[in-house]
Structure 1
Amino acid sequence: MKYITFYILLGIVLYACKPNHTPSEEPASKNRPNVLILLTDQWRAQATGYAGDPNVQTPYLDSLASRSVNFKNAVSGMPVCSPFRASLLTGQRPLTHGVFMNDVQLDTNAVTMGKIFSKAGYDTGYIGKWHLDGHGRLQFIPPGARRQGFDFWKGNECTHNYNESVYYENDDPNRKIWEDYDTFKQTDAAIRYMHDQKESDSPFLMVVSYGTPHAPYHTAPEEYRNRFDPDKIILHENVPDSLKMRAKKDLAGYYAHISALDDMVGKVIENLKESGQLENTILVFTSDHGDLLGSHGAYKKQQPYEESARVPMLFYIPEKLKIAVEEKDALMNSEDILPTILGLCNIPIPNSVEGINYRPYLEGKEQLGEAALLTCVQPFGQWNKVEHGGREYRAIKTKRYTYARDLKGAWLLFDNKKDPYQMNNLVDQAQYASLQNDLDKQLSERLRETGDEFLPGMDYIEKWGYPVDETGTVPYTH
């Protein structure tokens, strides 16, 4: 009996001394998946072959979509460059992280993707457009806090000169130039980085942030531009006659950039296959916002319309995670990307994160993403101009409807199923009064949940101390 007692006590002591690691606390190893994010600029969700665009073929993206989770209703919660990027890195909404307009700096004390993955034992790298530093668009961003946890660096703050564009490499403060078309060179740099990571004992997080297909629309290599005849472009029905000629010409260039990017997606995937890394890599393909390109009489982004707010969102997930490949109708928002990736990697999600971890949804355990909040603080900026119908707004987007309110009250209501080009505004129509009232209540509840007082835009700018110029934007040189 005394021997039994001894071994019981010994077992208790040994168990108490055993390191108490949950799966999410274990040091990173090659068993934990790599993460590759391919981020494009101003690519609207409708502009792919798999989404049904009649003007462009995207065979590599179509193939990726067939092997990925496709969040077909994904949105950019504040469809402008810097706000999306700050939400991607922090998992927070713009009125929390404070980057609700372009060319302002994300707080260097923020809890960000790069810092989280680095702490979890990942090697971290960033290539391409940053647009989160606020010190001028062509300035050197030194290693340290302003790079938000990314160690390997071949980046620029912001440039839309895609041929021989500026970048900085790691700790070298001297400007370098991507030779020729930067989309190609940035892809090559990412492939080299990932190939070198095969020799590392740690998994990697790599963000490749392309500047295309953002304007200027006519600077893709000639072989791609020659594929598209403006006269043969099929426009969305919501492009007014006054813009049709311009829109056809610009869309031809836009699709040229997209075709070049599609080839780069194919090149990346092929290299991951050849290196044996693909089946241990989570690959996310998305964009920071869309592009109106003449729809509703406007260009660029920032407005709540489908062409502006909806973005492509593909999650390629290794088979070992046992996530079904399928289209999903949840309205994934910008702040949801980070917590979902962390969930898939079994990395603890910081308390600062406001977005939704969609892993339980992907595993069929929870129903999430019934609606998404769209926000615009800046009614006087470069794109959301009052003369084009722009204004401060808050909008609720469901799987079928888009409802927006401006500072004066109800503004837009669309049935996106019956009216996919959003040409019939149902606001204040008697037969839709009940629907409008229900959506208005949903929007009010979402604003209460997020602590959004829906104030005039200048109130937020004054609160955060951002200086603006006569156009209502922060000067690039500030």
Structure 2
Amino acid sequence: MNGSPLDDRFDNIARAARRSGYDPVLFGYTDQAIDPRTVAADDPRLQTSEGVLPGFRCELDLTRGREAWADWVRSQGYEMPTDPEEGLATESDRPAEVGISAFLTNRFLEWLPAQEEPWFVHLSHLRPHPPFAAAGEWATAYGRSAVDLPIPPSTGLHPLHDFLLSISYFAAPTDEEGQREMRAQYYGMISDVDQQLGRVWQALRESGQWDNTIVVVTSDHGEQLGDHGMVQKMGWFEESFHIPLIIRDPRKSETAGTVVDSFSEAVDVFPTLCEMLQEPVPRQCDGRSLAPFLDGVVPEEWRDAAFWEFDWRFFTAGRSGAQWPEDRRSVGHQLTVRRSGDVGYVQFADGEALVYDLAADPTWRTMLLDPERGWAEARAMLAWRAQHTDRTLTGTFLP
């Protein structure tokens, strides 16, 4: 969750790349709150969740605001609100050529020709992301009447679902016109970023780097986009957690275009890149390298489900922990999901559980009525928990 400090003892891809001889460069933002144990109490970085992942060097810093973009838009002769966040909400009023996605891509393309050594770049686009206002012509690229409508909420909502819908920031429009407009704008933002990535691919081809550059396209979260009545990334539904992952390794051309149906998780990206960099995979990693799939091989023992977690204690009483351990009101405000091929199992920290029959209803609105299947999912969740405890000193024995 944005705002949760990142434990500094953890390794990460920027540090691994630096050990491998690269100078990891960031264009955009990473949203990593600094570990407060590593800095003085008056360090200004403790006042923001929008920090930079340790190991990266910022070439374009959009972590604490979008002022660099806003200033550039003004320099191009366009009006821009004083607050760049308001500028995002009015992107539809200006040409896509001065949108934030084009700006970030421009800066990377200006930087690229000067590189004389192997490089490692995190090109972090904000879009697609609320506010729902696609840049320029992309705002009208999708006809509203042709846009699909979201999945409506089910009846008998769980209290957390009901609570999230009560917060205007997370509640989607309830009228059809508003829903179609929101989704059309989101699809426009996707197409805008897709065009920007096309500019990057073309620059790599023209500079002769396309055939020796590994490309990974993914996202940090999904978007409810009106499904189940919500927007943003809230709750337990897979719309918030199901993300794209495309890996292109030019050395593996024989499997290019392959679609992998096996479950993967965001935690697989780090060990995959470690293997590509010929760096040891840290013991901290819960994920596994996806490199075998790039060779067209499905590992013999691979996961049969994907897991994700959601923590909403920051909304609740006792969230500061000031009266710990007597005040434990917030500890039950978290959940973990196990998503297998045909079951969605949601385990709440207060002991409650929801079990969805995805074979009968892939929209997550029909409960599984077989108690034995539900118990099997609970056992699988317990096993996953036991197998993913801290491994920092596991296997170390002192005489």
TM-score greater than 0.5 by the shorter chain = yes
SS in 2 for 1:369: coil
SS in 2 for 1:328: coil
Contact 2:150 2:225 in 1 (8 A): no
Q: Which of 99, 121, 127 is residue 181 of structure 1 equivalent to? A: 99
Mapped partners of 1:133, 1:350: distance in 2: 21
2:80 aligned residue: none
Q: Which of 223, 234, 249 is residue 148 of structure 2 equivalent to? A: 234
Paired residue type of 2:292: P
* Uncovered stretches (5+) of structure 2, i.e. residues with no partner: 35-44, 73-83, 88-96, 155-172, 317-331, 391-399
Q: Does 1:404 align with 2:357?
A: no
Cα pair distance change 1:438/1:191, threshold 3 Å: same
1:154 aligned residue: 60
Post-superposition offset of 1:226: 1.8
1:111 aligned residue: 11
Cα pair distance change 1:403/1:130, threshold 3 Å: same
Describe the superposition over 1:370-415 as per-residue Cα deviations: whole angstroms up to 9, x where unpaired: 2222112225549xxxxxxx95211111233211111344533233
2:299 aligned residue: 366
Describe the superposition over 1:324-348 as per-residue Cα deviations: whole angstroms up to 9, x where unpaired: 5411122221221110111123222
2:309 aligned residue: 375
Contact 1:224 1:259 in 2 (8 A): yes
Post-superposition offset of 1:184: 0.6
Q: Which of 227, 231, 236 is residue 299 of structure 1 equivalent to? A: 231
Paired residue type of 1:216: P
Paired residue type of 1:106: L
Q: Please identify, of 251-260 and 363-372, the stretch whose mean Cα deviation from structure 2 is larger.
A: 363-372
Post-superposition offset of 1:120: 0.8
1:260-279 to 2 correspondences below 5 Å? 260-279=192-211
Q: Which of 365, 376, 379 is residue 441 of structure 1 equivalent to? A: 379
Mapped partners of 1:186, 1:335: distance in 2: 26
Mapped partners of 1:163, 1:418: distance in 2: 47
Cα pair distance change 1:399/1:194, threshold 3 Å: farther
Paired residue type of 1:205: F
SS in 1 for 2:234: coil
Cα pair distance change 1:323/1:341, threshold 3 Å: farther
Post-superposition offset of 1:420: 2.3
Cα pair distance change 1:337/1:138, threshold 3 Å: closer
1:330 aligned residue: 262
Cα pair distance change 1:161/1:374, threshold 3 Å: farther
1:20-99 to 2 correspondences below 5 Å? none
* Uncovered stretches (5+) of structure 1, i.e. residues with no partner: 1-100, 167-176, 383-389, 453-478
Cα pair distance change 1:314/1:216, threshold 3 Å: same
Q: Does 1:223 align with 2:137?
A: yes
1:463 aligned residue: none
Two-structure CA RMSD over aligned residues (Å)? 3.0
Mapped partners of 1:132, 1:322: distance in 2: 37
Paired residue type of 1:180: V
SS in 2 for 1:315: strand
SS in 2 for 1:132: coil
Higher RCO (CA 8 Å, separation ≥ 6 residues): 1
1:212 aligned residue: 127
Post-superposition offset of 1:159: 4.2
Paired residue type of 1:105: P
Contact 1:213 1:254 in 2 (8 A): yes
Post-superposition offset of 1:283: 0.8
Mapped partners of 2:346, 2:49: distance in 1: 36
SS in 1 for 2:98: coil
Cα pair distance change 1:165/1:405, threshold 3 Å: farther
Mapped partners of 1:132, 1:235: distance in 2: 34
Per residue, is there more strand in 1 or in 2? 1
Mapped partners of 2:191, 2:289: distance in 1: 32
SS in 2 for 1:207: strand
Contact 1:291 1:307 in 2 (8 A): yes
Contact 1:138 1:159 in 2 (8 A): no
Paired residue type of 1:277: Q
Mapped partners of 1:105, 1:352: distance in 2: 17
2:244 aligned residue: 312
Cα pair distance change 1:440/1:147, threshold 3 Å: closer
Contact 1:372 1:396 in 2 (8 A): yes
Cα pair distance change 1:419/1:355, threshold 3 Å: same
Cα pair distance change 1:250/1:283, threshold 3 Å: same
SS in 1 for 2:24: strand
Q: Does 1:192 align with 2:110?
A: yes
1:5-16 to 2 correspondences below 5 Å? none
Contact 1:289 1:301 in 2 (8 A): yes
In the alignment of these two chains, the number of paired residues is 322
Cα pair distance change 1:278/1:440, threshold 3 Å: same
Cα pair distance change 1:290/1:242, threshold 3 Å: same
SS in 2 for 1:211: coil
2:363 aligned residue: 421
Contact 1:118 1:149 in 2 (8 A): yes
Contact 2:360 2:366 in 1 (8 A): no
Paired residue type of 1:121: G
Cα pair distance change 1:345/1:132, threshold 3 Å: same
Residue identity over aligned pairs, in percent, reads: 24
Mapped partners of 1:214, 1:158: distance in 2: 16
1:76 aligned residue: none
SS in 1 for 2:198: helix
